[in-house]
């Protein structure tokens, strides 16, 4: 077929469109499998993860050091098993405490790593033993009310 002068421009146009669709699918939407970037993975089990989501930040002293890669429920212990992918520049001791905190009052939840004093470092596939579950506001309020009631009956 004879090439017209419009062919190149329209080809470019369609290619741009497809590129932006790919951008929408992978970078904006959640179609991406996962960008298997570098870093090592550690495992942490929580009693309750609250509103933690996959791809949430992992921070230490407020600095982002990794991302939450997977969250699954352990069918035997009924704990939430999370896989954290950490930046290889940072090493954490074996007795690191992982806890789930919230940034701000209504902000997103993230995993905080509190470094301990052990001289052995966590490596790929290791498990964080000490964890603190997410705070559930309803539970806290319930506990508070319960304590208050117990206090009142005790003083009388």
Partner 1 sequence: MNRLLEPLADLGHVVLSALARLGLVGRFFLGILAVLWLPIRRFSLLVREVYFSGFRSLLIVTVSGLFVGMVLAVQGYEVLQRFGSAESLGVLVALSLVRELGPVVTALLFAGRAGSATTAEIGLMQATDQIAAMDMMAVNPMARIIAPRFLAAVVSVPILACLFISAGIFGSYLVGVQLIGIDEGAFWSQMQASVDFRLDVINGLIKAVVFGVAIGLISVFEGYYAPPTAEGVSSATTRTVVVSSLAVLMLDFVLTVWMFRGLS
Note the residues at the interface with partner 1 (CB under 8 A): 1-2, 4, 6-7, 9-10, 12-14, 16-17, 20-21, 23-25, 27-32, 53-57, 64, 67, 103-108
The position carrying tokens 């939450």 is 68
The position carrying tokens 């090493």 is 91
Report the nearest approach of partner 1 to the CB of residue 47 (Å): 23
Which of residues 36 and 153 has its CB atom nearest to partner 1 in the complex? 36
CB 117 within 8 A of CB 95: yes
Task: Determine the Cα–Cα distance for residues 156 and 154; give it in Å rounded to an integer.
Answer: 6
Which of residues 4 and 152 has its CB atom nearest to partner 1 in the complex? 4
Report the nearest approach of partner 1 to the CB of residue 36 (Å): 15
Which of residues 25 and 73 has its CB atom nearest to partner 1 in the complex? 25
Q: Is 67 exposed, middle or buried (0-12, 13-18, 19+ CB in 10 A)?
A: buried
Report the nearest approach of partner 1 to the CB of residue 45 (Å): 22
Report the nearest approach of partner 1 to the CB of residue 125 (Å): 24
Which of residues 15 and 129 has its CB atom nearest to partner 1 in the complex? 15
The strand pair at 40-46 and 127-128 is best described as parallel
The beta strand positions in the chain, using DSSP E, are 40-46, 57-60, 63-73, 80-86, 97-102, 109-114, 127-128, 130-132
Which of residues 71 and 97 has its CB atom nearest to partner 1 in the complex? 71
The token pair at 119 is 């001289």
Report the nearest approach of partner 1 to the CB of residue 130 (Å): 25
Which phi and psi angles does 85 have, rounded to 5°?
A: -100, 120
């Amino acid at each position: 077929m004879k090439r017209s002068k419009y062919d190149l421009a329209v080809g470019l146009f369609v290619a741009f469109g497809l590129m932006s669709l790919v951008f929408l699918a992978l970078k904006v939407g959640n179609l991406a499998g996962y960008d298997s970037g570098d870093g090592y993975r550690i495992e942490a089990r929580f009693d309750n993860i609250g509103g933690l989501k996959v791809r949430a930040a992992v921070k230490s002293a407020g600095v982002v050091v990794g991302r939450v890669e997977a969250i699954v429920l352990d069918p035997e212990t009924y704990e939430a098993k999370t896989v954290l992918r950490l930046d290889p520049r940072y090493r954490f001791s074996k007795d690191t405490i992982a806890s789930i905190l919230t940034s701000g009052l209504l902000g997103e939840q993230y995993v905080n790593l509190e470094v301990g004093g052990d001289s052995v470092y966590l490596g790929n596939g290791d498990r964080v033993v000490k964890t603190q579950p997410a705070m559930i506001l309803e539970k806290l309020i319930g506990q508070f009310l319960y304590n208050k009631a117990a206090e009142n009956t005790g003083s009388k």
